[in-house]
Structure 1
Amino acid sequence: MSELPATPPLMLDKIDRGILRLIAHDSTTPLAAIASEVGLSATPCWKRIKRMEEAGVITARVALLSPARLGYPVSVFASIETADHSEDWISRFAGVVAAMPEIVGAWRMSGDVDYLLHIMVPDIPAYDAFYRRLIAAIPLRNVSSRFAMERMKASPPPI
């Protein structure tokens, strides 16, 4: 999943941004409430939302879940270095990442680290088992893991 824009960003006005702020805060907000908040009637508001969905600005409407309440209180950020940058290795690595549900975020990086993985597990032994499966699945030069102590902020992009 690429976060980089393949096309120029959609031109958004103040009303579009207001709609996005409301949806990003709570995607279950009724259309009538969104429309009222941004000063539109329901139909024009709905048309703007559909336009932003079709343009790929709104990519999904999801519920945010509590990792701790679901039994995954440990967040690990693993920096990955590889000696192989071939298309075949990158494709294999992407498949490994996709197949491991503990990986909830993955980025290809610039600089001294090749990839950054966000991993959620129930405890340290579960991370050790994950780590062993990861290094058995694909050759890596170095894996450096950092354990999050506290999640201080999680928010949508600035709108």
Structure 2
Amino acid sequence: MQRAETDERDRKILTALQADASVPIGRLAEAVHLSVSACWRRIKAMEDSGLIAKRVVLVDRRRANVPTTVFVGIRTSRHSMDWLESFRRAIADIPEIVEAYRLTGEMDYLLRLVVPDVDHYDAVYKQLISRLDFTDITSFIGMEEMKFTTAVPVTYL
């Protein structure tokens, strides 16, 4: 059952699942005023359509000994598809790089890393520069995490 539109109940389901994907289906169904089977069908339809991409566990970074966040801005003088694919391969198997974006403006790429400390960031930095040539790499160490969420707004659905 693929639904053409997302309604208010779907938005409530998504909001609840983004807060805690392990919530029992019975409790979720009750909260959105649906039967368990109707709630399950809606979730399944959102999964089938790709709106729900996957369900994951969020690990506490401090307890996993990676409390330091480093943002890395990268500039390159190379702007070819070959270079872009080389860059994708270079960062793909570095687990400390948890996010990577291609940008407009002064910086070409922005990476977010989580590491135990600056020494470990330096090791990642050395891995990067051993794999590709960059025009500039600028690092910013996060001092305080002021807001972090994996939840996306559902009001635009």
* TM-score normalised per structure 2: 0.93
Task: Give, in whole Å, the separation in 2 of the partners of 1:32 and 1:41.
Answer: 8
The match for 1:157 among 143, 152, 156 is 152
- What are the equivalent positions in structure 2 for 1:74-89 lying under 5 Å apart? 74-89=68-83
Matched, 1:131 2:138: no
Between 1 and 2, higher relative CO (CA 8 Å, sep ≥ 6) is seen in 2
Aligned length: 150
Whole-Å Cα distance in 2 between the matches of residues 11 and 93 of structure 1? Answer: 38
The aligned residue for residue 11 of structure 1 is 5
Measured in 2, the distance between the counterparts of 1:98 and 1:132 equals 15
Deviations 1:21-66 (A, max 9, x none): 0100000001111100000001111110011001111111111111
Report the TM-score when normalising by structure 1: 0.92
Secondary structure of the residue aligned to 1:79 is strand
Structure 1 residues without counterparts, runs of 5 or longer: 1-9
Residue deviations 1:118-159 (CA, integer Å, cap 9, x gap): 011111111111111111111111111000011111221112
Amino acid at match of 1:158: P
Aligned partner of 1:59: which letter?
A
The aligned amino acid for 1:89 is W
The amino acid of 2:122's aligned partner reads D
5+ residue gaps, structure 2, are: none
Identity rate of aligned residues, in percent? 41
